[in-house]
Amino acid sequence: MLDIRFVRENPEKVKENIKKKFQDEKLPLVDECIELDVKVRALKSEGDALRAEKNTTSQAIGALMKEKKTEEANEKKKRVGEINDRLAFIEKEEAELSDVLRQKMMIIPNIIDDSVPIGKDDSENVEVERFGEPNVPDFEVPYHADICESLCGLDKDSAGRTSGNGFYYLMGDVARIHSAMISYARDFMIGKGFTYCVPPFMIRSDVVTGVMSFAEMDAMMYKIEGEDLFLIGTSEHSMIGRFKGQIIKESELPLTLTSYSPCFRKEVGSHGIEERGIYRVHQFEKQEMVVLCKPEDAMDWYNKMWSYTVEFFRSLDIPVRTLECCSGDLADLKVKSCDVEAWSPRQKKYFEVGSCSTLGDAQARRLSIRAKGEKGTYLVATLNNTVLATPRGLIAFLENNINADGSVRIPVALRPYMGGQALVEKKK
C-alpha cells in the first residue's frame, strides 16, 4: 500500500504506474483517494480545532464558577455541549471516510522498480541468465508421475478417495527423496546465516490482507469455516505477520529467516489441477526465505536471495534460469520479482520452481512494521523467496537425475539425507 502523501504529491506518477501494469480500470482510484484525503484532513483539522476550543472553554467554566458567574458559565457549558455533538459527528464521519480511503488505497498497486520490463502478462517475462547446461539425454525421459510410479512412490487414486482431485500420497523412496530435499534446503539456508523457523500454519484475516492483495487472497486462500482463520498459502504470510505492529531495533536489521511449512492453495484461475501428475496441487511443502531490512538495502538482498535458490538447485545437478517478471505479471504489492525455473529434459523447456520478490514497504505499511534508529522510526522493507517448493522441486530432481534404466541418481549434496544412498533403483 502506498503512502497517501506520495499519492497526493505524485498523482501522475501513480497513474503512469497503473498504466504500466495494464490496470487502467484502477485509474479513477487515484483522484478518488485524493478527494477522500482532502475530506479526511479537513475533518481532522476541524476536530483538532474543536478539541482545543473545548479545553479552553472548560477551563473558562471553572474560573467563572469560582467567580460565581453562573450565567456566563452556563453559556460556556452550552457551547461545550454543541462541541461534543459536532465532535461525535466528525469522529464518526472521519472514521468512515478513513476506512473507505484505506480500502481504495489497498487496491492501488505498488510503484514498480524502473528496471522492471513492461509487459501485459507472463508471456512477456524476460529471460535473464541460465545456470548449467540444459541437457537432453539420449533416452526418453518418462512423465514424472510415471517415474514416481516406477519407484512405487505415488498413489493419487487413494488420495482421490480420501481428499479429492489435487491431492496425492508419496511413498517409499520417492517420499524419502521429497523429505531429504526439504531437510537439505533447511540446512542450506542455515548455512547462509538464516534463522530457522516453523511458523503457524493458520493466520487471521488482518494478517492475510496485510501481506497480499484481495485478488490473490480470493484465488489462493482456504478459509476455516466459522473462524477468523485461513490456511497459509506460503509461510511468508505468517513469517511477515509475526512482526505485525512491532517496532524493531535498527541494530537487529536485517532479519534473515528461513521457514518450513505445508502450504494450501485453491489454485482458482490456474490452468487446472492435473489428473495424473503432481505439478499443480492443493497441498505442498515449502522451504522459504524472508528478509526484513532497511529500505536502502532491499535490492542487495533481492539479488542475494534469488542467487541462493540458483545455487541450491545447481548443487542437485538441476540446470536453471532466472526470468524477470514483467509489469503485468507482478502482484500489486511487488516492486520487482523474478522466477527461478528448472530445466525439464522431458518437455525440453524450463518450468517455474521458485519466485523471489521485493515488496518495498507495502507489507510493512499495511501491518505497521517499523524499525527505530538514531534518526527515528521508519517502515522496513520486506522480501521473500522460495528455496524449495515440492513436489515441483521433486519433479525437477527426478527428471534431471534419472538414468536410462529407470534408476535415479542421488547427488552428493543430498546423500547425507538419504542415509548415504547414491542410487534409487527402479522397482520390479
Q: Which residue has the cell 522493507?
A: 381
Helices (H), 106-213: 144-150, 156-162, 172-191, 205-211
Is 145 found in the same domain as 77? no
| Contact present, 284 and 266 (Cβ < 8 Å) | no
| Contact present, 359 and 366 (Cβ < 8 Å) | no
Q: Which residue has the cell 482532502?
A: 38
Look at residue 364 and tell me if it is in a domain: yes
Q: Which residues contact 178 (CB under 8 A, 6 or more apart)?
A: 170, 285, 390, 391, 394
Determine the number of helices (DSSP H) and then strands (DSSP E) in the chain.
13, 18
Look at residue 115 and tell me if it is in a domain: no
- DSSP annotation of 3 reads -
Alpha-carbon distance 120 to 109, whole Å? Answer: 15
Angle between helices 172-191 and 298-314 (to 10 degrees): 140
Is 169 found in the same domain as 80? no
The number of distinct structural domains making up the chain is 2
CATH of residue 52's domain is 1.10.287.40
Its sign, for the CA torsion 396, 398, 402, 406, is: negative
3-state secondary structure at position 71: helix
Cell of 22: 495494464
pLDDT for res 269: 47
pLDDT in tens, the chain (428 residues): 899 999 999 999 999 999 999 999 999 999 999 999 999 999 999 999 999 999 999 889 888 888 888 888 888 999 999 999 999 999 999 999 999 999 999 999 999 999 999 999 999 999 999 999 998 999 999 999 999 999 999 999 999 999 988 899 999 999 999 999 999 999 999 999 999 999 999 999 999 999 987 777 777 889 999 999 999 999 999 999 999 999 999 999 999 999 999 999 987 544 444 557 899 899 999 999 999 999 999 999 999 999 999 999 999 999 999 999 999 999 999 999 999 999 999 999 999 999 999 999 999 999 999 999 998 999 999 999 999 999 999 999 999 999 999 999 999 999 999 999 999 999 86
Is 257 found in the same domain as 229? yes
Is 13 found in the same domain as 127? no
Look at residue 370 and tell me if it is in a domain: yes
Is 177 found in the same domain as 92? no
Is 142 found in the same domain as 91? no
Alpha-carbon distance 20 to 326, whole Å? Answer: 10
Is 39 found in the same domain as 84? yes
Q: How far is CA 108 from CA 4, 29, 94, 284, 338, in A?
A: 11, 7, 21, 31, 21
Alpha-carbon distance 108 to 148, whole Å? Answer: 44
Q: What is the DSSP string of 270-304?
A: SS---SS-SSS-SEEEEEEEEEEE-GGGHHHHHHH
Q: Can you give the residue range of the structural domain that contains 385?
A: 122-424
Last residue of a domain, one of 105, 137, 171: 105
CATH of residue 327's domain is 3.30.930.10
Helices (H), 242-370: 298-314, 362-367
Alpha-carbon distance 212 to 363, whole Å? Answer: 8
Look at residue 116 and tell me if it is in a domain: no
Is 376 found in the same domain as 322? yes
